[in-house]
A and B are shown apart, each in its own frame.
Chain A
Amino acid sequence: MKIEETRNEHAYIVKITGKVDTASYRYFENTMLDVLETEKNVLLDCTDMTYISSAGIRVFLMVLKTLQSKNGQLKLCGIRNDTKEIFEISGVSKLFEIYTTQLEAYTNFD
């Protein structure tokens, strides 16, 4: 798994590449804990995220909960069909705002 962070005028963008599984989720979790200390508007770019299991989904839920508690916003973009199916199976897909592209997600930040 690789994580790339970018800030622009709309949001703090975290781009995930590869697999977020039981073996790799801690790195993702630690990155997000750092990001959450300072950021309120976060976009998780999942275009190149090839796989996720419940360990990774738990981190997505943690990010959502933390941002909601400080009136921030979380948006997701580019989720591939098979990984989206895992969110659906997990019963959590409706909790997230999911967009096709980064650009589409930006225009929906308040």
Chain B
Amino acid sequence: MVRTMKTKNLQIQNKISELHRINQVIDALFMEWELPVKSKFKVILAVEEVFANIVNYAYDIREQPIDLQFLFENEMLTIRVLDYGKPFNPLQFDSEAEIKKPIEEKESGGIGIHIIKSVMNEINYQRKNGRNILTLKKTF
């Protein structure tokens, strides 16, 4: 059996305008790696929510790089997102409680984390060498 591993790395800045570039890369990956199109919006959504959290909460004003690493192996897509921002572990955020809150108390960050947890099969957080490393896994 031939096992193939496909990878793609992308470095972006912590600016909202970079979202278009991220989406273009994910679009291209789904085509090149022949991933199931029906799952594409979920991957785009999860990556946008992670990116938006970093841009909105992790950094102060300075421009900083964010690294995105995509890896596809054994029917599993792994996405690692690395940033140098403040420590933030989304797994510790109680998104279930956030979703049950009345409308006036809901925050978009909380909804975003709930979305990430719902559309991905596995999420892992590490703080290492001054970086937040969030790993998302999606099986097809």
Contact = CB atoms under 8 A, between A and B. Distances in A.
Contact of A21 (B19, B109, B111, B118): B19
Interface stretch (B45-53, B86-94, B121-129): B45-53
Contacts, number: 62
A95 B102 CA distance: 10
Contact of A51 (B41, B104, B108, B109): B41
B103 interface: yes
Nearest to A61: B103
Contact of B118 (A23, A57, A64, A89): A89
B20 interface: yes
A45 B55 CA distance: 30
B88 to A, nearest CB: 16
Interface in A33-74: 51, 53-55, 57-58, 61, 64-65
Interface string A73-110: 00000000010001001111001000000000000000
A107 to B, nearest CB: 26
Interface of A: 21-23, 51, 53-55, 57-58, 61, 64-65, 82, 86, 89-92, 95
Given A58-B107, A82-B41, 11 more contacts: A22-B19, A51-B41, A54-B108, A57-B108, A61-B103, A86-B45, A86-B115, A90-B99, A90-B115, A91-B114, A92-B106
Q: Which 5 A-B pairs have the closest CB atoms?
A: A91-B99, A58-B108, A54-B112, A54-B111, A22-B52
